[in-house]
Structure 1
Amino acid sequence: MFKHSSPYLSLKKEVLSTLFEDVSQRSTIEACGVLLGTIDADGNWHVDRAHPLQNTADSPVYFEFAPEELLQFELLNPDQIIGVYHSHPTGYPRASDTDCENMQRVNQAQNIPWVWVIIKGPFNTPHHELTSASLIAYHHFANSGLKHITIHTG
């Protein structure tokens, strides 16, 4: 699937708005959801929209989707989920050990080609604005392990 060594993630402006709204409304827990779009022939992710899902852990340091909610959304939007996002409301600027384990499990053991986006907080400051600097993206590749993915917005 990945034909070059530096695949990228493109996010539409509307996706950034959805992410900002979600993290603003859930500023004290990890906001989370799915990313919908396409993966092109070169292995680049093109996200057209984001859809928030409930964080059943209700935690500032961990997120977990309700399996039935994820399954229902997947059944209503077949083959459109290309990634997931979650926030780090405390501002932790990289993937946690748990994040890394989940990325490896999903990308490699389950062979699901999702991209993973982390949104760095804090989100409780006045006039906080979500920019590309607030986002980190990852994918766990079979040959090279966990890698940062370049993000293009617009």
Structure 2
Amino acid sequence: MTTLHEEAGKAAPEECCGLLLGHGERIDVVRPAANLADDRQVRFEIDPLALLAAHKAARAGGPRVLGYYHSHPKGHPVPSATDCEHSTGDSRIWAIIADGEVAFWRDSGNGFAPLAHRVVA
């Protein structure tokens, strides 16, 4: 299985991005997606076709979209001002990879709240 650290490393110096899929609150699948942003070194835009395909697969019984991930190649694993501008309040999980760390956040609609997590092998 692809790890978030591997995805960030492959994309550097650009931002990687993708989907976090699973059941309940457990992330079971990390699904990379193309970054379609104009300036991929400082922004990300998940390919909408990848997102639509994931929602379609979930309706057919597959894992549901729990959230999204992206990297900050020159930053920290905290939501940037741009990330906060895109906060929608959908309560999805955002994972941010930077400085060799992965931090998880809950989209609260007026920013992000940190989430505790643990890795289960």
Question: Shorter-chain-normalised TM-score: which range?
Answer: 0.7 to 0.9
Matching residue of 2:70: 86
- Superposition deviation, residue 118 in structure 1: 0.3
- Structure 2 match to 1:114: 92
TM-score (norm. length: structure 1): 0.66
How far 1:136 sits from its partner (Å)?
Answer: 1.3
Q: Give the number of the structure with larger relative contact order, counting CA–CA contacts within 8 Å between residues 6 or more apart.
A: 1
Q: Does 1:66 align with 2:44?
A: no
Give how far 1:80 is off: 0.9
Taking the TM superposition and a 5 Å limit, the aligned residue runs for 1:3-152 are 14=1, 17-39=2-24, 45-57=25-37, 59-78=40-59, 80-103=64-87, 105=88, 108=89, 112-121=90-99, 130=100, 134-141=101-108, 146-152=112-118
Moved over 6 A (4+): none
Report the alpha carbon displacement of residue 145 of structure 1 after superposing the two structures with TM. Answer: 5.6
After TM superposition, give the deviation of residue 92 of structure 1 in Å.
2.8
- Structure 2 Cα separation of the partners of residues 53 and 145 of structure 1: 23
Which residue identity lines up with residue 7 of structure 2 in the other structure?
D
Say which one has the larger Rg. Answer: 1
Q: Deviations over 1:25-84 (max 9, x none)?
A: 111111000001122xxxxx2101100000001511100012223212321233611010
Structure showing the higher helix proportion among its residues: 1
**TM-score, structure 2 length as denominator?**
0.82
Gaps in structure 2 of 5+ consecutive residues: none
Provide the rounded CA distance (Å) in 1 between the counterparts of 2:6 and 2:112: 28
Deviation at 1:102, TM superposition (A): 1.5
Aligned residue pairs, count: 116
Identity of aligned residues (%): 32
Q: Is the 8 A contact 2:5 2:97 kept in 1?
A: no
What's the RMSD between the two structures over aligned residues?
Answer: 2.1
Q: Secondary structure at the match of 1:152?
A: coil
Gaps of 5+ in 1: 1-13, 40-44, 122-129
Instruction: Give me the whole-angstrom Cα distance separating, in 2, the residues matched to 1:145 and 1:118.
Output: 14
